[in-house]
Amino acid sequence: MFFHWLEKNPFFFAVMTFAVIAFAGLIEIVPNFTEAARPLTTTTPRTVLELAGKNVYIKDNCIACHSQLIRPFKSETDRYGNYSLSGEYAFDRPFLWGSKRTGPDLHRVGNYRTTDWHENHMKNPPDIVPGSIMPSYKHQFTNVADIETAYAEAVTVKNVFNVPYGDDIKAGRKAWEAYRPKVLEDAKKVAADMKDEGVKKMIANGKVPEIVALIAYLNSLK
């Protein structure tokens, strides 16, 4: 019989044993992994303003010093809040988990930092966090965020990855021009809690400073 033959051939017995265990493992692991990777009911796509802020975060290399992945250890959850769940990243492309923490993890930063805190911190970090080695990012207060590219990104992930944006996110120049006032309104809401008058003046002139987009993104990390 086949089983008698296997008993006499240890190599093939080991191969068959591995195959059976691997198959059983896949049946157990894959469904759970798939379920865990689905968006949480509280997970929503980034707004266009937040996407623009995410791009500023990437451009200025914030990921080099800050992670966005809280591990399930008490030392981390005590400091940063609930550990990260895979479903929270369902709409993020790329993921910004990071691999180094020169500064603190930022995945829950929207729960404990405010707009005005970020404004003052980005202007001169040591004034807010004594001893901080983080550089100043004053250029973000005058640089204009690339909102149009962020809108194009939203259109792309909606059409390619089925990210559930509304019907107002669609391809075409006319669609972008129609959507643009909404981004400016979102920017005004962020700037309302800021003291920098230059930032507010830029938005009034139809331009969104990088700092506003970045703060909108940081505020969305909860």
Looking at residue 32, its pLDDT comes to 58
3-state helix/strand/coil string of the chain: CHHHHHHCCHHHHHHHHHHHHHHHHHHHHHHHHHHHHCCCCCCCCCCHHHHHHHHHHHHCCHHHCCCCCCCCCHHHHHHHCCCCCHHHHCCCCCCCCCCCCCCCCCCCHHHCCCHHHHHHHHHCHHHHCCCCCCCCCHHHHCCECCHHHHHHHHHHHHHHHCCCCCCCCCCCHHHHHHHHHHHHHHHHHHHCCCCCHHHHHHHHCCCCEHHHHHHHHHHCCC
**Domain 48-219 of CATH type 1.10.760.10:** yes
Interval 122-147: pLDDT, tens: 999 999 999 999 999 999 999 999 99
Average pLDDT, the chain: 91
